[in-house]
Structure 1
Amino acid sequence: MRSRAIRATVGVLATAAVVALTGCQEATAPASPSRQESPSGASTSGPASAFVPAEGARANGYTAVVREPDAARDTVAELMLVGPDGRSKSLGDVSAEEMVWDISPDARTVLTARKVEEKRILTVWDTASGKPTKLDAPAAQDAVLVKDGILVLRKGPGKSAAARTAVYSVSGKRLRSLGNVPLVYPVASADGRLVAANEGDIITVRDTKTGALKRAIDKPKGKGDCYPGLQYGASDFAIHCTAREEAREKGSVIYVTSYEGDSALRRALADDEGIQIIRKVAGGAAYGRGVNAECAAAMWAHDGRVEQAYPAGSKVESARNDLRFIGAYGATMVLAGSSDCRQPGGLLRVDLKTGKSTHLIGEQAKIKGYVTSARTVDGT
């Protein structure tokens, strides 16, 4: 089964290159909500709310980031919202262990999580006001933002009890239960109406308001565990299937299918063994291929050509990649860089058409520090 680090998107390392498609086609101590300027000195211009997109707008490229002032992981970190143009807003101080779990399509809501002993503390952030709200969801195992709030998978009482799924409002109120539905690794659609998840030997798609089953997708023949990947495109999602135990050396396979309808599974790429994460971009797909158990090198599939898409002037060794895949939108990839896949690094944006990179956080950027977790509003 996959680790939560893959879903958190900074736990996945990336080097950028280009290959061909096959014709298929994560106790907070918040800063004052009035705080507009980060410790680094980078600030938004005008009112704090002016930087945050309008409610319901599509905010492609906005990234929620946990930033540490230095590489030491025992310091207090800062939760930030960073725009595609490099502007940023501080949302408040957080634990250095905080993980960005999700960001809404309009970048107005961010969901973070922190593990304390055996419990996960979930916090919902209003990016316009900077207000954090602790979510009272005991035994939370996983969570994802949906149309009218947060869908939370909770472990049932007792060792053998079934998992339970409930939806909470962004203000922390429990809205409804979807019953003993074990929605493992939930992935919401772009509009938040539907959620794909692992339910044993099948992948299901359910209505997030009623829990009604919309699709049931059988595991491909000969495959091991299967689970949804993060959203592939506006209407599609990826399914990551591992190889059978006796054939692990052959790696995993990524399939793509739609949330609605009954479209068949299609392989995302012809040579897709080892792929851990994938996003649709203009002209192809950005994806992360596993290098080892902790890292995934990022590639870009485009127009049947193989080209480098490293930041201009950088020197990246193929055996020791130093860019982690954060997200992608349009013809842009958002990456985090470090000298080791297990260490934090800066944040940069790469234009896939030109290969030009722009540093948003790090030594070469106005905002200094290291990114330990992040999620980007994807979209193509």
Structure 2
Amino acid sequence: MKRAFVERARALGFDTIRIARPDAIPLAPERLKAWLDAGHHGSMEWMAETAERRADPRALWSEVRSIILLGLNYGPAENPLAELARTDRGYISVYARNRDYHDVIKGKLKEAAGFLASKASSDVKVFVDTAPVMEKPLAEAAGLGWQGKHTVVVSREFGDWLFLGAIFTTAELPADAPERDHCGTCRRCLDVCPTNAFPAPYQLDARRCISYLTIEHKGHIPAELRPGIGNRIFGCDDCLAVCPWNKFAQAGREARLVQREDLAALPLKELARLDDPGFRARFAGTPIKRTGRDRFVRNVLIAIGNSRDVALADEALRLLDDASPLVRAMAVWALAHLLPPEAVAMHAEGRLEREGDPDVREEWRRGMTGSEAVA
């Protein structure tokens, strides 16, 4: 049964398939609690609210007997980090440059699970990064890969460019041997992080992670972290891209996940001009849509400020009167990085008096005094 299922899953496009027992991650509850207690989940309160079910698969579904972990390779054809040098362009994480992977993988998982259910006369449930399932520890326990020092699963065959999905089943399937850690003394992923998001190897503080800040975080991004964001406007791939195991990686073969050229190195000038309908139309069907227009333009303005391209100052100026305080605040911040304090003060006239948001007012104060400018 296992061999037939693996063959079917591969035919559906999955690149690696392994099986774990539901009791295969006994250390997960303690490690998850320590991570949550340290506040490393930031504002992702749902992580804490679902901690009990997340830490033990049997708490999520008591009848589960086997957990199938499936990986789908989305490796880029070229090193994406070269785009970071194009500071007038916005960097979008590789995973988000086409269809939303949740939609693509869930359809494949349902078909694979249906095959298993019919052949093994078992019940099944499928999960793709949207339920309280600890896919990464389970993937390690199943032998699909190991959690690297950047906490991402690394495969000896595919590097760390893998989407993960899980099928829980009542069928008793033979489990695979766990994978051991192959990171050795390497620190590339830790040392490359622009915002020092790793307090220690194998530990991620989401509050400092660019992916969290530009995607999950709904408020203002802390001022001290903005310069490190550079031109990354949706996610970050630095720690993934530098992993030496990627020398064995291959370009992804799923057509719906291959990079769309209109989602790579996008001109900041164009992105800053998106209104809500324009944002929805431009990014329909992609993971980018989840941030909403205001948070996305917030990120774009941080990239504009970091560009030091005075030609982009007009885009920040145009957004000083935006309806969203999130956007207005970052428009001021960007302006303060592109123009001298006296010019910022000139644009504050009239606006500062009628500004009702305290965060925007503080950005004006710092911009006019020059305390916001970064050397």
**TM-score in terms of structure 1 length:** 0.24
TM-score computed with the length of structure 2 as normaliser: 0.24
Higher strand share: 1
User: When you count helix as a share of all residues, which structure comes out higher?
Assistant: 2
Larger radius of gyration: 2
